[in-house]
Structure 1
């Protein structure tokens, strides 16, 4: 009989056992990434994040696990549910605390149910559903699910969808000029003009892996990241120690694009990558420099993917401006279980209407893509509507 366990810290779970279940070595569900968030002070219960990871064990072997957190608010999730919390409040019901399966501050699709097989995934979810009411948790949410995890969620889970903008390599593209040639005249002209602005400003870009980025370059990057959040009157949750931790604990996944003028760093973008995909995460700059955001966050990443043979580039959440840079609308998926049955019918109708609206938006955005007819990337297999 599998044994269900809860963990207030990932440090109590052996890294080798956790990572053995992490499909494809996905960087954001690696033990080093998630445990580093905890160890280096990035998860503050005052900001709504308290680790409560769920695992299943058989004979001392870890057979299923989910990175999970008790949430006292919806900060840093990127699947927005303020309307749900307000609906609960109108009916005198408590929406928080809730239980989130996901990666803090990371709107990136990837594994959420780490397991030896489908049966283990379903058993883990069943155990979490049984435990949630006993723990005083009013719902369970699983955000940014990949295609392999979706079948584990039965019809008792409400389905939500959203849109991000992702770049996908066309089989014929080998170099950045091949990508440029696939754009229509207007978008190619604008992109090249932005690149010239950066060059004419005397700014040069350096790409550093995790080992080269450790120390002063990554310290500069954290300064840019913190400045971005300060400019938005928001909380920069990730600490300088965590940024350095990435360089020492998982340097092979780190890519830092550092923009410099006269030897001084003026902007930066931090990426992580897996064998097939580049993930854009954090950006910042000292002052405004025309075209530099696009060059650092998008163009450099596309060029790197083409040079390294990576097929996909996910630059982060939201942002219709990415469409003009060759990033096409892509559907993201989440699932939601509610302990209170009285609210489920109304929210099920709400989710159905939202999915229809998202589908319309995605189709409209795709119709305004930047590529010449027949020159853009092929649709991704995972984009078939479910």
Structure 2
């Protein structure tokens, strides 16, 4: 049969927030203060952002994003695994699936982040934004600004999601630091089939041990929720 694996990702869920400040009000005071401090550092540095989606993302914007994306990988000693041609094809065939945030300083672009968004689903009343889901992210910077990574990769996407009533922002796996930005741990599951019986048996025994450890890990993370508790 299929071998089941449980892992953990970090997702932000929109609880009907009316604004970014409304979202912050749901966080514990310490987390709320830290986010405001981080955002203020970026603002005080003079950095502003542009939001571009779909066909509003021009070829020059894709070129700039790829420079940022490529640098992130090269700085870690690895070539980027997605090519410029890949993003060109996305721009041609799936433009509405992409949302680009460009950070600018004194009118010049210095960093960018890219997230994917689900297409607007059909409903009896037309388009229903509340069912949209965002997935992030690719990012890179040509200049270093304190806290710019958090602003470009988390706060700008969350602000966009709130403004557009997006249901959920899935930030992927790894990085418990995401919890401080209210991306909470959720279990995710996958199923696998292996043809070799002995290999499948070995993997199955490993997955049983991993699942027990993953459940403990999830409980540990859930006990550290950044959300404000009510008496």
The two structures have a TM-score, normalised by structure 1, of 0.55
CA drift of 1:242 comes to 2.1
Structure 1 CA distance, aligned partners of 2:182 and 2:38? 14
Structure 2 CA distance, aligned partners of 1:245 and 1:344? 37
1:162 aligned residue: 7
1:264 counterpart = 2:108: yes
CA drift of 1:256 comes to 0.2
2:32 aligned residue: 188
Instruction: Specify the SS of the correspondent of 1:228.
Output: helix
1:253 aligned residue: 97
Q: Which runs of 5+ in 1 are unaligned?
A: 1-155, 376-386
The structure with higher relative contact order (CA 8 Å, sep 6+) is 2
The Cα offsets for residues 27-64 of structure 1, whole Å up to 9 and x where unpaired, read as xxxxxxxxxxxxxxxxxxxxxxxxxxxxxxxxxxxxxx
Q: Which runs of 5+ in 2 are unaligned?
A: 121-131
- Alpha-carbon spacing, 1:346–1:248, altered in 2? closer, same or farther (3 Å): closer
Structure 2 CA distance, aligned partners of 1:270 and 1:224? 10
| Alpha carbons 1:210, 1:248 under 8 Å: kept | no
CA drift of 1:374 comes to 4.7
Which residues of 2 match residues 20-169 of structure 1 at below 5 A?
Answer: 156-169=1-14
Structure 1 CA distance, aligned partners of 2:230 and 2:89? 44
Instruction: Specify the SS of the correspondent of 1:338.
Output: coil
Structure 1 CA distance, aligned partners of 2:19 and 2:78? 38
CA drift of 1:273 comes to 0.3
Quote the RMSD (CA, aligned, Å): 1.5
1:202 counterpart = 2:49: no
1:220 counterpart = 2:64: yes
| Alpha carbons 1:160, 1:333 under 8 Å: kept | yes
Structure 1 CA distance, aligned partners of 2:191 and 2:77? 30
Structure 2 CA distance, aligned partners of 1:254 and 1:344? 38
Structure 2 CA distance, aligned partners of 1:336 and 1:243? 29
The two structures have a TM-score, normalised by structure 2, of 0.90
CA drift of 1:210 comes to 2.0
Larger Cα Rg: Structure 1 or Structure 2? Answer: 1
1:368 aligned residue: 224
The Cα offsets for residues 273-325 of structure 1, whole Å up to 9 and x where unpaired, read as 01410111200001321111111111111111111111100123311110000
Given candidates 52, 71, 78, the residue that maps to 1:234 is 78
